[in-house]
Amino acid sequence: MDRVVSTLIGVVVAVGVSAIIFIGINKLFDVAPRRWQWFTTLLGASASLGTFLILWGNRAIEQPVLWTIVATVVGGVVGFLLGQLEDMKARLIVGAAGGGILGLIVGLKMRDVILVFQDGNKTTEVGTPMPALNIGETLIWVAVFAAVGVGIWALRGRRKPIVRSLVFWGTVGWGIGAFAAGDLGVANRQKALIACIVFGVGIGASMGLIPFTGERRRVEIESGSRKYIFLTPALFFIGASLVVPTIRTFWLSFLDRTGDKAVGLANYSEVFGDTNIINVTNWTGIFGSALFQFGLAIIILGFVAAYFISARRGDEGMAFGAGTLSPIVIGSFVIAMAIFATLRGTIINNLWWVFTVTAVA
């Protein structure tokens, strides 16, 4: 019962906090057209607060209460200044300086270790968020993502200055090279400072390079924000629960059972060589299946119907509509069932389940 109660409390708190955040963000963007400086101030403060709450929740910084408050104030001041400065150089200086200050705080207050466990006379220290920064490798990531930024800039019609894309995507590359691709676990304050300050300066400069927003654009931001407010939480949870684990699983599939040594395609050879996992030896039986023949007949019926309807209308090509596409879709579904019913193995069973549930849904 204690566990049930604690779970229910957790659910209620999570839903309540989510509702408050959702309503708060909506109200924040309502302010944009009328009180732009209030909007940019609250936006800067909220971004800094959210970032430091994440660091706090992951035990990455010392004295989290104090420095989360300080960071929120710094973010609010930077947002306020960017809300009124029109000169691009001034905006760039303010954004880069504010981001650099926040990066400096993170670098200075980053923990040497995250957790310490005491078991009798044995003390175990768990990790450190400090990156073992490799400048050369990190600059390669910067160059790769800067090239990505140039490509995105070109695909979007080259409407905006290229320097914005270079700074933003180069900063993303720095963050990945310093914190994601690089090793964590070696406490080095100097490297942590360099990594955090450069990343902060890059993010701040990206914000500063955004031109001053006029009244018309403010109204567009307020009205256009709704789709992001509704979609972002869903996309975040889908990414966190499905996309990221899928990418990580794909990466782990090239490593051994300990996750330490690369084994290439050995795991795939073992999986696809096991007839209990996938067995396609009877694939020719698909064509003799009554399900396959029935599904093929339905598809042919759909194409014949489309041909005669087109001929009656005098159309040059076939006319596909709800009436003619339905038999084709149903026939394709039946043929898929014939394939899954003939082939054997765990993978085939999983594919059958995934395809059927998705198609029916």
Q: pLDDT averaged over the chain?
A: 86
What separation in angstroms does the CA of 143 have from each of 123, 172, 199?
A: 42, 10, 15
Average pLDDT over residues 262-271: 88
Inter-helix orientation angle 36-57/2-31, to 10°: 150
pLDDT score at 106? 92
Residue 344 has pLDDT above 60, yes or no: yes
Average pLDDT over residues 197-215: 92
pLDDT score at 161? 85
Among the residue ranges 130-134, 213-217, 264-268, the one predicted with the least confidence is 130-134
Six token digits for residue 48? 């800094």
* HEC sequence for 55-89: HHHCCCECCHHHHHHHHHHHHHHHHHHHCCCCCHH
Average pLDDT over residues 290-317: 82
Give residue 338's Cα distance to chain centre.
37
Query: pLDDT by residue (tens digit) across 16-51?
Result: 888 888 888 888 888 888 888 889 999 999 999 989
Q: Is the pTM of this model over 0.85?
A: no
Six token digits for residue 140? 């390669």
Highest mean predicted confidence (pLDDT) among 53-62, 121-130, 305-314: 53-62
What separation in angstroms does the CA of 245 have from each of 177, 240, 251, 256, 358?
A: 20, 7, 10, 18, 20
Residue 316 has pLDDT above 90, yes or no: no
Residue 101 has pLDDT above 90, yes or no: yes
Residue with tokens 């994440």: 54
CB atoms within 10 A of CB 298: 19
Average pLDDT over residues 302-325: 73
Residue 101: closest CA among 53, 62, 144, 52: 52
pLDDT score at 224? 83
CA distance 85 to 106: 27
Among the residue ranges 38-52, 175-189, 286-300, the one predicted with the least confidence is 175-189
pLDDT score at 18? 83
pLDDT-derived band at 318 (thresholds 50, 70, 90) equals: low
Average pLDDT over residues 224-238: 83
Query: pLDDT by residue (tens digit) across 105-115?
Result: 999 998 876 55
Residue with tokens 């070109």: 154
pLDDT-derived band at 58 (thresholds 50, 70, 90) equals: confident
pLDDT-derived band at 143 (thresholds 50, 70, 90) equals: very high
pLDDT score at 105? 95
Q: Which residues of 14-32 are buried (b: 16+ CB within 10 A; e: fewer)?
A: eeeeeeeeeeebeebbebb
Residue spans of alpha helices (H) in 273-321: 290-313
Average pLDDT over residues 161-179: 91
Q: Which one is predicted more confidently, 119 or 93?
A: 93
CA distance 206 to 146: 13
